[in-house]
Structure 1
Amino acid sequence: MLSVVPMRAETSDKAEIVTQLTFGECYEVVARDGNWLQLQLAADGYRGWIDFKQHTPVSAEYYKEWRSAQHPRAMDLVQMVSNAEVRIPVGIGCYLPFFDGMSIRVGEERYQYTGRASNPGTHATPVQLLKVANNFLKAPYLWGGKSIFGIDCSGFTQLVFGICGYQLPRDAYQQVDHGEEVHFVTQAQPGDLAYFSNPEGRITHVGLVLEGQQIMHAHGEVRIDTLDHNGIYNAERKRYSHNLRIIKRIHF
């Protein structure tokens, strides 16, 4: 079990990282090609390839139990899980399977965890959502990233909403299918999701709406910029970086 494992588009260390497998997640192995395993993540159904050396097998009973339960998420930027043999760093947003307040269970192993954890049984308010999001400010951009040490735009929104108890799909073009449309940017509220398209009309970017027509999004880093009816305006570069397509409101 590792902190973060890259999941790739193809069976090569040189291949594109499409997402990351983070500590505590469960998955199915759906194919094998030499030293590479194709996984399907239990939480969002996303698929990608990992090196077999980074695979942690669990029983079918554990996988079924994992899927039927709600699991807290780590709330500290970086914390440790440990037992007598090993210490493993875990980042904010990682799953804490079967956490009982002191320990977690991964497969047949138990680990101690003394950090803060989310409560998966509660519904987050916009204030709580933005408080979680603020933890990611200055996290560096990484295509396919899903951790505090490297994250992309949809990984950021998926992780923030996931910590707060709502499972979004992995990619922005999938996330846009969730929620209720907000017709005007002036009607947007903190916690709404704004989506942006490329010249061909494809959704390629997403960010979290803040107060005062601002937006938090992963672009070079997780940062705050201005949002208006045209899109995201980067004051440092004095130009628009993304063209607004639609705003959606998630109802928890």
Structure 2
Amino acid sequence: MSDPRTAPDPDLVQLSKPMQIKSSIADLHRAPTGPRDRQLIYGEHVTVLREAGNWQLVRAEKDGYCGYVRSDVLGLRTDATHIVTARSSQAYEAADIKSADQIALSLGSRVTAQSETATFVETELGFIPRQHLHRVSDFAIDPVAIASLFLGTPYLWGGNSAWGIDCSGLVQAACLICNVPCPGDSDQQFDRLGDFVTEGTDYVRGDLLFWKGHVAFVSSPTVMLHANAGHMAVAEEDIKTGIARIAAQGDGPVTAHKRLALPSG
């Protein structure tokens, strides 16, 4: 049986139209006006599969996730040159931090440079602080360091941004910045990320711990980092304490300990 998250009913597929997200953030819905499954952020590429009034069925290029977005969040696709690598940033009207800010941007947002100075990159949105951007070809090497940028971010079911994020959104954001392909939901991540580690093996920074419906990074041999509803935020906690707390909440035991393989070079 196909997964509707990545393979919608063929009868719904009428188009193959390349577009991108033009708003700071866009909810990806299971159906028009239906519940949010995930989110997309500025500059992410999508393919429009079907138009349905004010809604469009799209497939996200980053992970193949399908869902409906409002038509007004879509714009013409461009080739990004830079990606936001700060937890969040903003585009200013001028190359001046005292000028008006135009739009807020979450980590992972993709923009196109028009000119550069020592302190700002001019983009289609305005001027973005140079410190907040890296070229799209420059990848980070430590997903836990990227995930740590989100510490304190509110927990949001289906969230994928600096304004709200869930467990799988956090893992995906960190992996993609490190050039590790990563699906959007924790069950998909369980199936596709990393290699299983033998029970009893010591925890190593960057390892992943899975529960049914939850995932966490190992940030040190005794500490895990995750977006969770217990803290209602991205937080670090002692691994043993966290495992006991999650079990006491009725979410069961750890179902897997896996180790990521990061790309070389």
CA distance in 1, matches of 2:218, 2:234: 13
Counterpart selection for 1:154 from 168, 191, 198: 168
CA distance in 1, matches of 2:244, 2:153: 20
Counterpart selection for 2:32 from 3, 6, 11: 11
Paired residue for 1:200?
none
Are 1:222 and 2:234 matched, yes or no?
yes
- Aligned Cα RMSD in Å? 2.9
Q: CA deviation at 1:239?
A: 6.5
Once the two structures are aligned, what percentage of the paired residues are identical?
Answer: 26
Q: Which stretches of structure 1, 4 residues or more, deviate above 6 A after TM superposition?
A: 237-240
Sort the Cα spacing of 1:152 and 1:89 in 2 relative to 1 into closer, same or farther, 3 A.
same
1:232-251 alignment, distance < 5 Å: 232-234=243-245, 242-251=252-261
CA distance in 2, matches of 1:147, 1:120: 18
Q: CA deviation at 1:238?
A: 7.4
Are 1:33 and 2:52 matched, yes or no?
yes
Paired residue for 1:44?
63
CA distances 1:20-69 after superposition (whole Å, capped 9, x unpaired): 110111111111122111111111111111111222233xxx4xxx4xx8
Paired residue for 1:95?
110
CA distance in 1, matches of 2:219, 2:252: 17
CA distance in 2, matches of 1:134, 1:99: 31
Give the residue type in structure 2 aligned to 1:184. Answer: E
Are 1:20 and 2:29 matched, yes or no?
no
Paired residue for 2:4?
none
Paired residue for 2:218?
209
SS of residue in 1 equivalent to 2:187 = helix
Q: CA deviation at 1:221?
A: 1.3
1:107-118 alignment, distance < 5 Å: 109=124, 111-115=126-130, 116-118=132-134
Q: CA deviation at 1:10?
A: 0.9
Q: CA deviation at 1:99?
A: 8.0
Give the residue type in structure 2 aligned to 1:17. Answer: R
Figure out how many residues of one structure are paired with residues of the other and give that number.
227
The runs of 5 or more residues in structure 1 that have no matched partner are: 198-203
Sort the Cα spacing of 1:212 and 1:23 in 2 relative to 1 into closer, same or farther, 3 A.
same
Q: CA deviation at 1:120?
A: 4.7
Sort the Cα spacing of 1:44 and 1:239 in 2 relative to 1 into closer, same or farther, 3 A.
closer
SS of residue in 2 equivalent to 1:234 = helix
CA distance in 1, matches of 2:56, 2:199: 45
Q: CA deviation at 1:6?
A: 0.9
Q: CA deviation at 1:78?
A: 2.5
CA distance in 2, matches of 1:119, 1:233: 41
SS of residue in 1 equivalent to 2:158 = coil
SS of residue in 2 equivalent to 1:154 = helix
SS of residue in 1 equivalent to 2:172 = helix
Paired residue for 2:9?
none
Sort the Cα spacing of 1:117 and 1:146 in 2 relative to 1 into closer, same or farther, 3 A.
same
Counterpart selection for 1:131 from 134, 145, 149: 145
Paired residue for 1:144?
158
Q: CA deviation at 1:86?
A: 7.8
SS of residue in 2 equivalent to 1:93 = coil
CA distance in 1, matches of 2:39, 2:92: 22
Give the residue type in structure 2 aligned to 1:221. Answer: A
Normalising by structure 1, we get a TM-score of 0.78
Q: CA deviation at 1:4?
A: 0.7
Are 1:55 and 2:74 matched, yes or no?
yes
CA distances 1:209-234 after superposition (whole Å, capped 9, x unpaired): 12132211111211122324x97233
Q: CA deviation at 1:121?
A: 4.1
Sort the Cα spacing of 1:135 and 1:86 in 2 relative to 1 into closer, same or farther, 3 A.
closer
- For the 8 Å contact 2:91–2:125, the answer to whether it is kept is no
